[in-house]
Each structure stands twice: as structure tokens, then as C-alpha cells.
């Protein structure tokens, strides 16, 4: 059962909808309109053949289209299969600067039935934007999303 309003909204939005891309698109739009002080919210989808992430549905400025497994915040979260909350991306070794205005980032790996789907990525122009509470909420949001894909 979902607890946060954001997860409840996502669950209601995606109920009876089965289109993968449409669901990711609406999920990124919901995040972008609901979270304050962010400048990018979206998904990178895992390409098992090339072992990299490909740009998926998002809201924000144009973004990097391919991220190798283990590269940048997204690729590192993918490789480690754990949430990464980075207070200052400019201090993150190997950070990939798709938008120079981004200063902090949170990435949540998306794994369903032991299969890597991709990652949820959210950027902010502010340093230290993402709290432990945000992390809990976004992990819950991701679990709700994975029920619908």
C-alpha cells in the first residue's frame, strides 16, 4: 500500500494503463510538476545488449542520450543497484554534466523481477536538494511505478 500522496497520485494515474512509454511519460510529468526546486525528472532505460542506459521519457532540458554502466551518477547507481543521493554533483568523480545548471541529483534504480529496467533520475539547481525523506518517497514512487510496467 502506498503512503505518500505522490505515490497515490501515480497509482491512480496509471491504473488500467498498460503502455510502458505512456506510463513513464506521465510519471516524469507528475514528478516535474509536483516536486519543488528541480530542473529535470525522468528515466534512463537499460539496454542489456550494449550494457548502457538510453534516454527515456523525461521533463526538462535536453539530456545525454547514452550513459555507460558505471559512468556518472546514473551509471554508478545502475552498477551498484542502489539509490545515489548526491549533494554536489561537481564533487562526484566522473559526473556527466548534461545540464551545467544541475548541482544535486538523486538516482533510483528500477528493478522488477530481478531484471534491471533502468533508473529514475532527478536533478536540481540547488546544492543538497534531496533529503533522506525525499529518498524514501522516491523509492516508494518507483515501487508504485514498477507495479504498472
Residue scoring higher pLDDT (2 or 52): 52
pLDDT recorded at residue 96 = 81
Contact criterion met (CB below 8 Å) for 83 and 106: yes
The model's confidence at residue 2, banded by pLDDT at 50, 70 and 90, is very low
| Residue-averaged pLDDT of the chain | 95
Across 63-90, average pLDDT = 96
Whether the per-residue pLDDT at 1 is higher than 70: the answer is no
Q: Model's pTM, two decimal places?
A: 0.95
Amino acid at each position: 500500500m502506498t503512503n505518500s500522496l505522490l505515490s497515490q497520485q501515480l497509482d491512480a494515474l496509471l491504473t488500467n494503463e498498460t503502455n510502458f512509454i505512456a506510463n513513464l511519460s506521465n510519471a516524469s510529468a507528475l514528478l516535474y510538476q509536483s516536486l519543488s526546486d528541480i530542473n529535470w525528472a525522468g528515466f534512463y532505460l537499460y539496454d542489456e545488449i550494449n550494457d548502457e542506459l538510453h534516454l527515456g521519457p523525461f521533463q526538462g532540458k535536453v539530456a545525454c542520450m547514452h550513459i555507460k554502466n558505471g559512468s556518472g551518477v546514473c551509471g554508478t547507481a545502475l552498477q551498484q543497484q542502489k539509490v545515489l543521493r548526491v549533494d554536489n554533483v561537481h564533487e562526484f568523480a566522473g559526473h556527466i554534466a548534461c545540464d551545467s545548471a544541475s548541482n544535486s541529483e538523486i538516482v533510483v534504480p528500477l528493478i522488477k523481477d530481478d531484471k534491471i529496467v533502468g533508473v529514475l533520475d532527478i536533478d536540481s539547481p540547488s546544492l543538497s536538494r534531496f533529503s533522506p525523506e525525499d529518498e524514501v518517497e522516491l523509492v516508494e514512487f518507483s515501487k508504485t511505478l514498477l507495479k504498472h510496467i
